[in-house]
Amino acid sequence: MKKRQKKKKVYKTTILFIILDLFAMAGFILMYGPYDKFRNLFVNTALNTMTHQYLAKIFYSDDTIEKIKNSNYFVEIDEEINLDDITINTKEKNKYKDSYEEELFTRTPGNDLYKIINLKVGMANGYLVAIYDPSKVKLISTKKFNVGGYGERIITMCERYGGKVCINAGGFVDYGYGSDIPIGTVIKDGEIIWGSDVADTQRDNIIGMTKEGKLTLLSNATANEALEAGINDGLVFGPFLIVNGTPLTIVGDPWGKAPRVSIAQTKDGILLFLVIDGENYINGASLQDVINILTRYGAYNAANLDGGTSSSLVVENKLYNNPPAAAKATGGRYVVTGWGLIP
């Protein structure tokens, strides 16, 4: 009896080691084998997170990482935005060009402010929010910007501003737990509330909203140039994904797959918030995935916002999306700025 039990134990142990060997072999093939898709995805995703870039260097040399970066890139859109192309008329139509336009314009019964369209991006869930009065979309921010603070969760900001729907927006100096220090200019209600000391010298990609509700994208602009262009609320991030209907040119998959957040607008003026769930290195969306979705729903101008662990969509004072596990457990990550539908 004891011999039989001993044989069973040896058999189980052998099977376990075989399984572990197979996993190790599969991992080795993925990381170092002849197929570069996974390798590119892993490296590019790691390099575009704030806290996990070291993972790429654990497995690959600096030369290999540089080669992967050079074969995966995007070309910034060299075109000035033309706001005259945007005519704000978001009323339902009698005739639609396709099912996506019809889905976008057709209101949810009893709600003329916004509509949520649920999407699927690979294994990840996505949420496209159509906002029918873009003039009510405003910048929201943490109470104050200072060294040593933590920022605020979007759900907290949104409630304080009386927002119906809110998303996170710009980047911030990241100490691992968050901070109150924005990266780049922040404009609120026609005033520079961060970056006034370099308002004439520092140039960035500025994403903004005019008073009448037109999404404005300015390349290589200063804060004062943004004010002159009519930006009432604005912040720094990117890249710009669509400008005047022209999409960003992407070669390979430069940023890998991850949770994504973006803002866009159709020629009819409907403002779009797009949030896509995921876990870094596992699932989520590429920049091309985001462009494809936004183009499908008629986006004429669009910009990428801060994604990853920061990704948050708040609807009626509830966290609507599923951020990466660490952020989900705390109700969303601490951030510094966002966009909100403030009726």
Beta bridge partners of 247: 242
What is the pTM assigned to this prediction? 0.82
Q: Which residues of the chain have pLDDT under 70?
A: 1-69, 147, 176-178, 280-281, 325-326, 328-329
- According to the model, what pLDDT value does residue 72 have? 77
Rounded-to-10 torsion of CA 207, 212, 214, 220: -40
- Cα distance between residue 275 and residue 263, in whole Å: 9
- Cα distance between residue 208 and residue 228, in whole Å: 12
- According to the model, what pLDDT value does residue 9 have? 53
Q: Residue 103, class by beta-carbon neighbours within 10 Å (0-12 exposed, 13-18 middle, 19+ buried)?
A: middle
- According to the model, what pLDDT value does residue 128 have? 98
Tens-digit pLDDT profile for residues 333-342:
999 999 999 9
HSE-CB of 55 using CA atoms within 13 angstroms: 17
Question: Per-residue DSSP letters for 37-69?
Answer: HHHHHHHHHHHTSSS-THHHHHHS-HHHHHHHH
- Torsions phi, psi for 284 (to 5 deg): 130, -145
> Which residue ranges make up each domain of the chain?
1-34, 43-71, 76-341
What is the distance, to the nearest Å, from the Cα of residue 265 to the centroid of all Cα atoms in its chain?
15
Enumerate residues 6+ apart whose C-beta is below 8 A from 308: 49, 50, 258, 259, 280, 324
Q: Are strands 233-236 and 260-266 parallel, antiparallel or unpaired?
A: unpaired
- According to the model, what pLDDT value does residue 43 have? 53
